[in-house]
Structure 1
Amino acid sequence: MMEKTHVCELADTYLRLGGHRRVVIDDNETSVRSWEEEPPEAESFWQKEVETLPPATRREVQLMLRTINRL
């Protein structure tokens, strides 16, 4: 069985805590959007564990979230 990467574990934990953010991909640039208030645990986790990452790693976490883009 394959081990999860740290990036995958961060995204999974955030979602398990009830996080609602989704990634937007536009011209290969990413950003996140949320239309619902998140549980405090998910918001705190995102701020402490994801927002503090280097930009390239933060982008990898964002790409593990569901997207609002149509493929």
Structure 2
Amino acid sequence: MEQTNARRLAEEYLRLGGHRRVAIDDNQVSIRSWEPEPAEAEAFWKRNVEPLAPERQREVELFLPTINRA
């Protein structure tokens, strides 16, 4: 099965040590990060994810690890 571009971006970001996590609440997606990121992961996110259209950014964000809510 071929990976989507969004999945590849998310996996590479995480491989570089990125710490962002996705929170989904009532179909609203937001990103959380509690600690500084490695410079390489931060640069990757800024270069490859932030320039994307909002709907494409959301696709990438949905491949990040989630924050579980009780």
TM-score, normalising length: structure 2 = 0.93
In 1: Cα distance, 2:55 partner to 2:17 partner: 24
TM-aligned CA deviation for residue 26 of structure 1: 1.7
Aligned length: 70
In structure 2, the residue matched to 1:68 is 67
Structure 2 spans left out of the alignment, 5+ residues: none
Q: What letter matches 2:35 in structure 1?
A: E
In 2: Cα distance, 1:4 partner to 1:63 partner: 14
Structure 1 spans left out of the alignment, 5+ residues: none
Q: What letter matches 1:49 in structure 2?
A: N
SS of the aligned residue for 1:24 comes to strand
TM-aligned CA deviation for residue 70 of structure 1: 2.8
Q: Which runs of 4+ in 1 moved over 6 A?
A: none
Within 5 A, what are the aligned runs for 1:1-40?
2-40=1-39
In 2: Cα distance, 1:24 partner to 1:70 partner: 8
In 1: Cα distance, 2:5 partner to 2:40 partner: 19
Identity %: 63
